[in-house]
Structure 1
Amino acid sequence: MSHTAHIRSHRKPRRSASTISMRAGVAGGVLGTLAVVGASGAANAAEPVTQTIELPTLTSDMASQVAQSADVTQQTAADYRLRAERDAAAAQAAKQARADLADAQKKAEAKKKAAEAKKKAAEAARRAAAERAARSADRPSLSVSASTGSSSSTGSAASIVSFVKAQIGDAYVSGGTGPSSWDCSGLVQAAFKQVGVSLPRVSQDQSTAGTQVSLNNLKAGDILYWGSSGSAYHVAVYVGGGMFVGAQNPSTGVVEKPLSYDPPTGAVRVL
């Protein structure tokens, strides 16, 4: 035994049985309560929660409104489709109208051009006829003048006549200047060159190279021309006796012909 066991203040007081029983009961009650609460909580947690949502009832008025809305939508779609068809038809009609108008304008323009061309052709034919008539009126009668014209050729004129007659039968070649092929102005130029006279190369200039003389007063060695003075398209040499020698064309070559064969427009005298 401890040496302090006999001292009362140093001993632990003993618990009574009633106290222990009471504490045990209290503890058991607490544990029981916790068990009941836990079980209840577990049961509540396992049970699903269901919530009910009430939908509005479709009344007859609402059904009527829905039907009317569907009808309106369908009618609107039909209107849009009809309008689209009308617009497409109008666009096609406008396109066809433009094409028809363009075609009509082209035809009218072609007709107008054809009429203008016909008018110009008629005018050109009229002018040509008037010019031929004027040339015919200006030409004097050559039959008398040819017979009365000087048929004798002396001096330089005789040399010119002799030269051109020597070339009869030669070929006609455009741009030809001899010695065996000629064009009209090339032959005339070469003939006058034999007597020391230098003439221009082309017929237009040769028709103004000398003094203009009347076709009623021709002399051998005169230059005959066809066309207007200064714009003649053909020349030849008068050789007397109403005859001329010239390089006419590729078919005939250099030939001697009477004035009546192709009456000239005018004449110039160089010698």
Structure 2
Amino acid sequence: MSHTAHIRSHRKPRRSASTIAMRAGVAGGVLSTLAVAGASGSANAAEPVTQTLELPTLTADLAAQVAQSADVTQQAAASYELQAERDAAAARAAKQAEADLAEAKKKAEEEKKKKAEEAARKAAAERASRTAERATLSASVDTGSSDSSGSSVSSSSATGSAAAVIAFVQAQVGDAYVTGGTGPNSWDCSGLVQAAFKQVNIDLPRVSQSQSTAGTQVSLDNLQPGDILYWGGAGSAYHVGVYVGDGMFVGAQNSSTGVVQAPLSYDPPSGAVRVL
């Protein structure tokens, strides 16, 4: 073996044929590019330069903004739709409320009409009852009635102030009875008595309790035309009338009979006072 067999050679390694060819191709490409660039430069020097605009690139931020805008638009549409539904519901509710009000008014009118008809029937029945009562009393007077002692009675022969009081109360026979009534076509018991004595300039208290003590107490066996009859206790009477003579009295009795002329036996009084 040679003494130089293990010594590395200082000669450069030979390049392979493929490496040489690749380098040659690269060099050729560079030269070609330079040639084209030179030619292009010459051509550009002769032709006008045309400016071009580049469109913006859709970045991630712009895409997010677009998506957000779409969400806002969708939310606004949903809000408008919800508001439209609410408006429609409110309109339906208002229409229903109007219909309910009209129905309530209709029912109220029908109920009012029904009550008016019922009141009219009741009033007609009361008038018929009073007419029948007056007819009965008139027949009793015409055929002759008895006072509490059983003697026959005839028309009163009162004179003066008593005659004026009696004429007034008899003129009101047939009028209606109304609580608190003081005429001219409706009365309560004390209102009729007060108005009758006012005809002869005597001012009586307004209520029956006071009228029952307004004059001198007299016995029912010693009555005179024009005496005030009362029912209940003196000072606590609940009803008054006027004695017209011959065992008869006139009084505003109640809402069923109105003002009547009747015998004492029809409704016997408790006592009497004399103011004439």
Structure-1-length-normalised TM-score: 0.46
Which one has a bigger Cα radius of gyration?
1
Structure-2-length-normalised TM-score: 0.45
